[in-house]
Structure 1
Amino acid sequence: MSSFAPDSIVLNRKLPLWYQVSQSLRASILGRSTADPLRLPTEERLAEHYGVSVLTMRQALKELEDEGLITRHRRRGTFIEPDATRGAPVRLLGSVDAIVAQQSGMTAELLEHGRVPVPAEFAEHFPDLTEAVTYHRLRSDEKTGEPTNHARNYVRPELAARFDPQELVRRPMTKVLRDVVGADISRITDTVEARLADPATARLLRVPLLSPILHYTGITYDSAGRVLDVAVIHYRGDRFAFSVTLDAT
């Protein structure tokens, strides 16, 4: 029986390896084709693929098993759960690959885009700009079609001019800036807070007015400390959880 082939990543040794591996494998699973095999390679082969120990690989697989994405059977192997729930915790730990992994497993609809004045709340992040290019997208579960979050990005105009807006239907903004534009992404600062759904968010996410939502702000910097992109995302409170992992080593 053939096995599912996960993508490869370059690991950041400053972050927990099990976490990076679990997020990469998670992104591969959620982005798989329906024709891909459901059986995963053995722990040993996966550990070799990612360049980590079997113990680290086991910890990464336990994370995915707890999330319901895979099932593990003694002597039979590890299998992708075809009907796994696609909702996922919002985790603040990370590499750019980890951020991209959080955005996998969803479809996206580009609702609008264009130049707008820099919002007053973000003026400090764009001190040299009066306008930014905004992109508003609605993301949905790729299996059920149920809305999960809506995102609005504010991007520097010179970067926005270097990619087709339709790229955002196929891949996350972080990946577009890094892989299509070739932007020098150094770090992303995340902030998550609890809020209540306003009328526009309630309509887009198909939830009752004043339902709990997670309000996320992500600020992307280059190595010179310049802000490239500010993302504001509203997640459905019944589909996502807030989780923080601290590395004590």
Structure 2
Amino acid sequence: MSATQIDAVTLDGAGPLYDQIRRAIRDLILAGTWPPGTAVPPEHALMEKLGASRMTVHRALAQLAREGLITRRRRSGTIVASPPASHAMLDILSIPQEVGELGQAYSCRILQRRDGKAPRELAARFELGRSANVAHLTLLHFADGAPHVLEDRVIHIATIPQVVDESFAQTPPGDWLLKHSLWTQAEHAISAVAAEPEEAELLKIDPGAPCLLVERRTWNQAEPITAVRLLYPGGRHRFIGRFGPYGAV
């Protein structure tokens, strides 16, 4: 733990002290100032810096642990948690794991990549501002060598600047983002569409064949992270979600 790290924890003076501490640490995590794996200052350091009792600091950290933002370990201390990689119907999908769960071998190919200002057509497709600086990637994912899903994605460079130096040679963009970014909200839509001729050729289906289009956008607070369109051949896929009255089960 560095002095800069403990100094970054500042209170806003609003509400109970434990909740101020919780919000201060939460905001550092969600802003990416403390990325996954960062050591959270120990209780005694927070007590001294913030003039709080051990019980107050402990309560704040316990709440952050319940929210899944930190992981508390008795001997090794507290660290910022990695975001979970979920695979339910409306959660963030890992395509390699999706293919693996089918008992098939995964591979992918990057068809094109362009970094820079979004051209008019791309801005319209993903509802981007014309000044948006993005990495635009098109990928084809395979299961046992057969086309599985066509991915069209933009990643906002201002939010995730390290994307500029990432080739995605080892890890596809969706899984890379799960490891290197935190998201606080997502928008998700599934629709039925007909395959355009170029898409059909890549997916090895007939032009106009029915497809499932999964569209998702994610943000870290107000900052956009990524927007993606995943086109699945409709005859080969279905999405299943099991849920109860209080959410997924």
Q: TM class, shorter-chain normalised?
A: 0.5 to 0.7
CA distance in 1, matches of 2:88, 2:205: 23
Q: Which has the higher contact order (CA 8 A, sep 6+)?
A: 1
Distance change (3 Å), C-alpha of 1:190 and 1:230: same
**Residue in 1 that maps onto 2:24:** none
Task: Give the Å deviation of 1:113.
Answer: 0.5
Identity %: 18
Report the secondary structure of 2:217's partner residue: strand
Corresponding residue number in structure 1 for 2:136: 134
User: Would the alpha carbon gap of residues 220 and 244 (structure 1) be closer, same or farther in structure 2, given more than 3 Å must change?
Assistant: same
What TM-score, normalized to structure 2? 0.53
- Whole-Å Cα distance in 2 between the matches of residues 127 and 247 of structure 1? 39
- Partners of 2:124 and 2:113 in 1: how far apart? 19
Alignment of 1:49-128 (within 5 A): 91-94=88-91, 96=92, 99-100=93-94, 103-105=98-100, 106-115=106-115, 116-117=118-119, 118-123=122-127, 126-127=128-129
Output the CA distance in 2 between the equivalents of 1:185 and 1:133.
Answer: 18
Which of 184, 187, 198 pairs up with 1:186?
184
C-alpha distance in 1 between matches for 2:178 and 2:112: 22
3-state DSSP class of the match of 1:238?
A: helix
Contact 2:159-2:224 at 8 Å conserved across structures? no
Q: Deviations over 1:85-105 (max 9, x none)?
A: xxxxx84243x5xx2265453
Q: Which 5+ residue runs of structure 2 have no aligned equivalent? A: 1-64, 68-86, 101-105
Q: Indicate the structure (1 or 2) with the bigger Cα radius of gyration.
A: 2
Q: 1:218, CA displacement in angstroms? A: 1.1
Q: Which residue of 2 aligns with 1:150?
A: 150
* Other structure's SS at 1:230 match: strand
**Cα offset for 1:153?**
0.6
- Kindly state the Cα deviation for residue 151 of structure 1 after the two structures are TM-superposed: 0.3
| Equivalent pair of 2:123/2:129 in contact (CA under 8 Å) | no
TM-score, scaled to structure 1 = 0.53
Q: Unaligned regions of 5+ residues in structure 1, if any?
A: 1-11, 15-89
* Corresponding residue for residue 30 of structure 1: none
CA RMSD across the alignment: 2.8
